[in-house]
Structure 1
Amino acid sequence: MAKISCSLREFLQVLEEEEMLLRVTEEVSPEPDIGAAGRAAANSAWKPAVYFEKIKGYTTPVVTNVHGSWKSHALMLGMDKDTPVKEQFFELNRRWDKYPVEPVIVKREEAPCKENIITENIDLFRVLSPYRINDQDGGFFLSKAAVVTGDPECPEDLHKLNVGTYRIQIKDRDRVGIQALAFHDIAVQLEKAESLNQSLPVAIALGNAPLVTFMASTPIAYDQSEYAFAGALQNGKPVEIVQADTCEHLYVPASSEIILEGYVIPRVRKVEGPFGEFPGSYSGCRLQCEIQITRITHRNQPIFENLYLGIPWTEIDYLMALNTSVPLYKQLKESMPEVVAVNAMYTHGMGVIISTKCRYGGYGKGVAFRLLSTPHGMPYSKIVIVVDEYVDPFNLEQVMWAVTTRVRPDKDVAVIPNCPGMPLDPSSVPAGMHSKMIIDATTPVPPEPNPREVELLKPPASTEKWEKFINEFSKGGTVSGMSEM
């Protein structure tokens, strides 16, 4: 296991060493060049992170597509860049059980994010290098921030300190809008603050350690700590955090590139959007709350990290793939130990594939119903495919084999109307309401009748040995004889 990067800068160095970073040294225009490069990187077979050293009109360099491939995802975990996706899933699952690895609070003078302070004449355009990600975005958006907020009723409880990723629109030099949907943790805290007629203190961290960013976009329980999970996923190495300057109960990642501090203006909603969102379409304009920025701290020569969103797959799909899959797997496994793996990589879990052993007739549908009752599955998931335990849910060829050979549409496909939905899903009408579809592609077990049993083909003997031989040969290795395998 290689070293795990605990800052964005460390990770960029790893990506460069592994030939997964493209440096652009000539000056580029912020639009359309940066967004176009993010789309192009996602389209390429290489899928590198792209680092822009010179942006016309700005002084801060920009990096995008940092999480934008399975190779980068593996390197984030300190694994070999060619590690298969399924192995990454089970490694994440193993580290998940290390939770909690509590963060370490460092002194202010030890935190790189505090090297520079701005309290007067705040101007986001002088510190950041904002740009429209897609052509019809309603403005400049921060698409990869870790937003830190606390629970107004128990501000000292670090496990109720929320670190989440929400889209943020720059509205002015010192003011931003933020999308806080009803099922987001920040919306719970905002409702509590506004019921007390209080502002909600906020710290926005930009340019974070890759696993901090990873956890900020992970659906976990309200009283679970993203920092303590990031420490677990860093294989037991605690995240270093530091107290925010303007609110003593907020703690930010010490290694972040840029920290914006301020507060949500209570009971104020203004138009935000449109924005090109993760389903690959523009969302409409909505009334959203706004944040007044009162202080900025940043590292020397900070780096502005942002991500491209578009028709999948782009960076956000890699970022939200396994960190959506593992929590859902854990929640299902608690009450249904027969579940083998969960693939919720498609559009943030709007599509989910579950492999499970069926204990009794109808069990596959029961597993799907359990998924649709989880905190994330209830609003997000709308198409659930359940397959047998020997089907790899991360192998779409196997999944489609199961669907095409196991499903009888008249009995194995169920549609449940009038359920919670994801408002950003363009097929959600009205926004936030949807139907759910379950496709049970498992083999019937008693008491469900199975009138036509078949015997499955098994791999020939020595298949595993030959797989190892072929894999070694494909990597450029030299194998003199099969006796060595």
Structure 2
Amino acid sequence: MAYRDLRSFLDKLEAEGQLVRVTQMVHPEPDLGSAARAVNNLGDQSPALLFNNIHGYQSGQVALNVIGSWPNHALMMGLAKDTPVKEQFLEFARRWNQYPVPVERVETAPFQANEVTEDINLFEILPLFRLNHEDSGCFIDKACVISRDLDDPDNFQKQNVGIYRLQVKGKDKLGIQPIPTHDIGLHLKIAEERGENLPVTIAIGCDPVITTIAGSPLAYDQSEYEMAGAIQGEPYRIVRSKRSNLDIPWGAEVVLEGEIIAGYRELEGPFGEFTGSYSDARRQPVIQINAVYYRDNPIFEHLYLGMPWTELDYMTSIATSVPLYHQLKEAFPEVVAVNAMYTVGLVAIISTKTRFGGFAKAVGMRAMTTPHGLGYCKLVIVVDDFVDPFNVPQVMWALSTRVAPDKDMVMIPNASVLALDPSSDPPGITHKVVIDATTPKQPETRGELFAPTIEPPRDTQKWETIIKQLMNK
């Protein structure tokens, strides 16, 4: 099932008991940030929240935690809300292989109902608020930011849709943090080498599939829109922007058009990040907003960030794990599954068959050299193929019984990592570790070549099905 916009997905969540409407009056601060943290504390079945009575705003709504649980993630994929995590991973991986699915282009979109090109004031249009107490200002942190490669502007595959934190610096000005290794960082580098501003379009309040794919580590020449079509099972609908020649998600609630000013930087941050720590203030590029479009009574979708788990972890977990899985299988067909759900893949757990002794260590080091692994994959745990990497007790069993610290740990010193990792020193540099938690194989000659692992009794899977059916009666 494809959701054309955020509203249709919220309707589905409500029908499935996964949306809570908050109708009492709330204050932007601290109520909205507190509610977002609170719902994340309720566990992996928590609902989305929709607020429609916000003090100081005559219209507008705020949606939080939209993809912030495994049931919501499953519903985003059109699956039953009780679909297990590993099954969601395998289905996402299957659909990933359907790429590319050509887009559907249309002429008009609902967000064109209202247009502002003069005296722009984002504080009047959006119910802006800080998430955490020490944030340096209001941020927009769940918007799809669209940009192009100015050296190859007609190449649709090199148009990028990504999610980057945006600090509101003024009525019509935003700060942006473009990580140099991300596509928009490459686009900005190209633009500044040409001495040109970089046109960008910012789409707020989009359908859940494009938001999920925008946070996924695609290749530079892979289209997020064509991948969104693969994941939702039908062509993704886009509309061309009026001023910047960029393609926009048709269902966006609010659209900002502007340009990143070449060669100009201002202090941006601190901001409470997905690592559970505040990032430092750094000099970052600035976006000048030239036009705003929005639907009647728009929904401002926001993402809480803080100590995991939060919505970000559900949104990026499988969408990060699947690209790593496919990249690893190209080199090692033995790889069974990849769990890179922890802190956007700073920790990755890989399940694989092993050809020979030492094989798992090679798999772990390859993970660190993938495009995503270069900035993440600080700690890689490799387990046997019969260990479910999404089942933490099974992984802990493998760590407890299969790891000899003097033989099974490989350290790579002074490797690259994203600068937001608070343990990196200097920022962006860290030691990385591969832990081989697989069963030893020849030619390894260690003394603990293990006795056979206990296999489940023959009819265990049949009885799982029987018990589930009895529970649902």
TM range (shorter): over 0.9
- Mapped to 1, the partners of 2:366 and 2:271 lie a distance apart of 32
Q: What residue number does 2:90 align with?
A: 90
User: How far has the Cα of 1:41 moved from its partner?
Assistant: 0.6
- Mapped to 1, the partners of 2:321 and 2:283 lie a distance apart of 31
SS at match of 2:30: helix
Of 442, 449, 453, the match for 2:450: 453
- Mapped to 1, the partners of 2:232 and 2:367 lie a distance apart of 27
SS at match of 1:343: strand
SS at match of 1:324: helix
- Mapped to 2, the partners of 1:162 and 1:193 lie a distance apart of 14
Of 226, 238, 243, the match for 1:246: 243
CA contact (8 A) 1:333 1:339 kept: yes
Q: What residue number does 1:139 align with?
A: 137
SS at match of 1:365: helix
Q: What residue number does 2:150 align with?
A: 152
- Mapped to 2, the partners of 1:50 and 1:456 lie a distance apart of 45
Q: What residue number does 1:192 align with?
A: 190
1:120 to 2:118 alignment: yes
Of 350, 355, 358, the match for 1:354: 350
% of aligned pairs identical?
Answer: 51
Q: What residue number does 2:411 align with?
A: 415
CA contact (8 A) 2:364 2:380 kept: yes
SS at match of 1:155: coil
Gaps spanning 5+ residues in structure 2: where?
none
Q: Residue type matched to 1:75 in 2?
A: L
- Mapped to 2, the partners of 1:462 and 1:197 lie a distance apart of 68
1:469 to 2:469 alignment: no
Aligned length: 470
Alignment of 1:179-218 (within 5 A): 179-218=177-216
Q: Residue type matched to 2:183 in 1?
A: D
SS at match of 1:166: coil
Relative to structure 2, which stretch is displaced further, 178-187 or 69-78? Answer: 178-187
- Mapped to 2, the partners of 1:238 and 1:31 lie a distance apart of 39
Q: What residue number does 1:227 align with?
A: 225
SS at match of 2:67: coil
The alignment's C-alpha RMSD in Å is: 0.9
- Mapped to 1, the partners of 2:459 and 2:364 lie a distance apart of 36
User: How far has the Cα of 1:180 moved from its partner?
Assistant: 0.7
CA contact (8 A) 1:6 1:210 kept: no
SS at match of 2:99: coil
Q: Residue type matched to 1:187 in 2?
A: G
Q: What residue number does 1:100 align with?
A: 100
SS at match of 2:26: coil
Deviations 1:399-441 (A, max 9, x none): 1111111111001012111000121111011100000011001
Q: What residue number does 2:68 align with?
A: 68
Q: Residue type matched to 2:134 in 1?
A: Q
Deviations 1:265-316 (A, max 9, x none): 1100000000000011110100000000000111122110001111010101
CA contact (8 A) 2:4 2:250 kept: no
- Mapped to 1, the partners of 2:466 and 2:450 lie a distance apart of 35
- Mapped to 2, the partners of 1:459 and 1:181 lie a distance apart of 47
Q: What residue number does 1:49 align with?
A: 48
Of 287, 295, 299, the match for 1:303: 299
Q: What residue number does 1:439 align with?
A: 435
Deviations 1:185-211 (A, max 9, x none): 101010100011100000000000100
Q: What residue number does 2:176 align with?
A: 178
- Mapped to 2, the partners of 1:281 and 1:415 lie a distance apart of 25
- Mapped to 2, the partners of 1:104 and 1:460 lie a distance apart of 51
Q: What residue number does 1:483 align with?
A: none
Alignment of 1:7-46 (within 5 A): 7-45=5-43, 46=45
Deviations 1:359-404 (A, max 9, x none): 1221000001110110110111100000011111000111111111
User: How far has the Cα of 1:55 moved from its partner?
Assistant: 0.9
- TM-score using structure 1 length: 0.96
1:405 to 2:401 alignment: yes
Alignment of 1:321-336 (within 5 A): 321-336=317-332
Q: What residue number does 1:318 align with?
A: 314
- Mapped to 2, the partners of 1:140 and 1:202 lie a distance apart of 20
SS at match of 2:345: coil
User: How far has the Cα of 1:261 moved from its partner?
Assistant: 0.2
Q: Residue type matched to 2:68 in 1?
A: G
1:129 to 2:138 alignment: no
CA contact (8 A) 2:260 2:285 kept: yes
Q: What residue number does 1:481 align with?
A: none
- Mapped to 2, the partners of 1:440 and 1:388 lie a distance apart of 9
- TM-score using structure 2 length: 0.98
User: How far has the Cα of 1:6 moved from its partner?
Assistant: 2.2
Deviations 1:329-357 (A, max 9, x none): 00000110000000000000000000111
User: How far has the Cα of 1:450 moved from its partner?
Assistant: 4.8
- Mapped to 1, the partners of 2:172 and 2:165 lie a distance apart of 16
- Mapped to 2, the partners of 1:207 and 1:279 lie a distance apart of 24
- Mapped to 2, the partners of 1:293 and 1:461 lie a distance apart of 64
Gaps spanning 5+ residues in structure 1: where?
478-485
SS at match of 1:369: helix
Q: Residue type matched to 2:343 in 1?
A: T
Of 382, 400, 405, the match for 2:378: 382
CA contact (8 A) 1:273 1:285 kept: yes
CA contact (8 A) 1:402 1:441 kept: yes
SS at match of 1:75: helix
- Mapped to 1, the partners of 2:297 and 2:375 lie a distance apart of 41
Q: Residue type matched to 1:124 in 2?
A: L
Q: Residue type matched to 1:266 in 2?
A: A
SS at match of 1:386: strand
User: How far has the Cα of 1:241 moved from its partner?
Assistant: 0.6
1:342 to 2:341 alignment: no
CA contact (8 A) 2:110 2:250 kept: yes
